[in-house]
Structure 1
Amino acid sequence: MMSGHESTDTPADEPAVSVANVTFGYGDRPVLEDVSIDVEPGTFLGLVGPNGSGKSTLLELLLGLRRPDEGTVQLFGEPAHAFAAGDRIGYVPQDVTTAAREMPMTVREVVAMGRYPHRLVGRFSRTDRRAVDEAMVRVGIDDLASRRIGRLSGGQRQRVFIARALASEADLLALDEPTVGVDAESREAFYDLLSELNAAGMTIVLIEHDIGVVTTYATETACLNRRLHFDGAPEEFVETDALAQAYGTDQHVVRHDH
């Protein structure tokens, strides 16, 4: 993985993300209760749970976009809400590809946004341009560089935002149901890409409604419904009753061959 961040930024024994005893609610409506979870560097965490279970809220908390009512959230050893090195985080929110349809920008221009924290005022260096080119090649969209992002398919737009994170030399990639509305073949290729990025060292936190995808591709699974019902290896998850506890119904997991 392209990265300009040295390993000294985060000690080897320090989690990339540490959520400790976190409680959060919107007014009188509790969303998360006493949730604790660590995400170690190099982990591919798949976060599952029913609609309204607090998954997106937890993701926003661990990225410092919200502050917990109780408990603490640390990002690379610092309080998440005060974390300043935004270039270390690549975030693909749930509705980003829908909003991108209206962006009057080319693929290259969107990917280049990832270099803004690195560049000198008003200008891109040769290093910046090389990072943008390498990121587009890495995710297979270099042939789309001059195309308007609004003219791309959903799967292609997702790759543009992954490339933007790569161009920024991010250490953590966070995605909230990134393949909603994407066809099955593109979804499989997308998750193969995430798996390759994780194998190259990138830490990934993924919210995904398809539990089979999570148990196939992720290295760690967390199951949430206000409280954390499971956190551990995917192969252990499918053997527990955490699904029934979280969803309140009989569930089964279909693994995806790849």
Structure 2
Amino acid sequence: MTTATAKSERSAKPLISVDNATFGYGEVPVLESVSIDVEPGSFLGLVGPNGSGKSTLLDLMLGLRRPDDGTVTLFGEPADEFDAGERIGYVAQDATEAARDMPITVREVVEMGRYPRRLVGRFSSKDRRAVEGAMERVGITDLASRRVGRLSGGQRQRVFIARALASEADLLALDEPTVGVDAESREEFYSLLADLNATGLTVILIEHDIGVVTTYATDIACLNRQLYFDGDPSAFVETDALEQAYGTDQHVLHHDH
């Protein structure tokens, strides 16, 4: 096995730093000695086969789990002690499907993003501006009064992105958010993420479509328990990291955008 490819340049203060992290469920190792930094303003795509530890690594990065060995820092603090949740927008793997049963409106979901920031009592004018601005940025203003459960999968994705934007998050993390969504909506969604990243929002995306990641991400991490690659997408497609991680010959299909 080759060692993970290092990024040629790293900032002095990464937004997330994973240093030699190991994690397992009981005696079953899921991640072994993984080290990776997430730079502010980057768009990191996490790829690997099913069961490779992608979601677990994201959990460690967000402080939702604590490594058995090694360290993880988030905004310069131990990730599992970080408590400024408003700085993170997290869309879990089944979020859009779970939203089918939510008996609330789009605006009410987006307003949830303001809960950590608002003062006790009613929403302020600043809160209302943040909610309206977030819905406008993702193109769902016309859906504000619709029930979330009556939206398409692609529309529900945008609602959760707007919720993160309303909180004024610095980091947006998504775990396979396009499962069950049609191809056209997926492409629009990826373009939206790229546009948000271009404004300075840091994005971490777990995605099974490797072509999407190589097309839209600024950085790629390929893993299967261990890290096989960490670096630029153009360099990634020239390596054998995919074959090593998946154990078979893999081909990358690029998406036009």
In the superposition, the TM-score normalised over structure 2's length comes to 0.95
Q: Cα offset for 1:122?
A: 2.2
Question: Distance between the aligned counterparts of 2:226 and 2:103, measured in 1?
Answer: 41
Name the aligned partner's letter for residue 158 of structure 2: R
Q: Which residue of structure 1 aligns with residue 228 of structure 2?
A: 229
| SS of the residue 1:71 aligns to | strand
Name the aligned partner's letter for residue 179 of structure 1: T
Q: Which residue of structure 1 aligns with residue 174 of structure 2?
A: 175
Aligned 1:14-93 pairs, distance under 5 A: 14-93=13-92
Q: Cα offset for 1:123?
A: 1.1
Q: Cα offset for 1:13?
A: 2.7
Question: Distance between the aligned counterparts of 1:172 and 1:72, measured in 2?
Answer: 19
Q: Which residue of structure 2 aligns with residue 158 of structure 1?
A: 157
Name the aligned partner's letter for residue 56 of structure 1: S
Question: Distance between the aligned counterparts of 2:235 and 2:143, measured in 1?
Answer: 41
- Structure 1 vs Structure 2 CA RMSD: 0.7
| SS of the residue 1:140 aligns to | coil
Name the aligned partner's letter for residue 113 of structure 2: G
What CA deviation, in whole Å up to 9, does each residue of 1:128-177 have, x standing for no partner?
00100000000000000000000000110010000000000000000000
Q: Cα offset for 1:104?
A: 1.1
Question: Distance between the aligned counterparts of 1:157 and 1:215, measured in 2?
Answer: 25
Unpaired segments ≥5 residues, structure 1: 1-11
| SS of the residue 2:228 aligns to | strand
- Count of residue pairs brought into register by the alignment: 247
| SS of the residue 1:231 aligns to | strand
Q: Which residue of structure 1 aligns with residue 144 of structure 2?
A: 145
Q: Cα offset for 1:28?
A: 1.1
Question: Distance between the aligned counterparts of 1:210 and 1:130, measured in 2?
Answer: 35
Question: Distance between the aligned counterparts of 1:136 and 1:92, measured in 2?
Answer: 16
In the superposition, the TM-score normalised over structure 1's length comes to 0.95
Question: Distance between the aligned counterparts of 1:241 and 1:122, measured in 2?
Answer: 56
Question: Distance between the aligned counterparts of 2:106 and 2:26, measured in 1?
Answer: 40
Identity %: 79
Unpaired segments ≥5 residues, structure 2: 1-10
Q: Which residue of structure 1 aligns with residue 132 of structure 2?
A: 133
Q: Cα offset for 1:195?
A: 0.2
Question: Distance between the aligned counterparts of 2:208 and 2:137, measured in 1?
Answer: 26
Name the aligned partner's letter for residue 237 of structure 2: V
Q: Cα offset for 1:84?
A: 1.1
Q: Cα offset for 1:93?
A: 0.5
Q: Which residue of structure 2 aligns with residue 103 of structure 1?
A: 102
What CA deviation, in whole Å up to 9, does each residue of 1:203-249 have, x standing for no partner?
00000000000000000000010000000000000000000000000
Name the aligned partner's letter for residue 57 of structure 1: T
| SS of the residue 1:162 aligns to | helix
Name the aligned partner's letter for residue 142 of structure 1: T
Range moving further from structure 2, 97-106 or 126-135: 97-106
Q: Which residue of structure 2 aligns with residue 206 of structure 1?
A: 205
Question: Distance between the aligned counterparts of 2:39 and 2:85, measured in 1?
Answer: 19
| SS of the residue 1:101 aligns to | helix
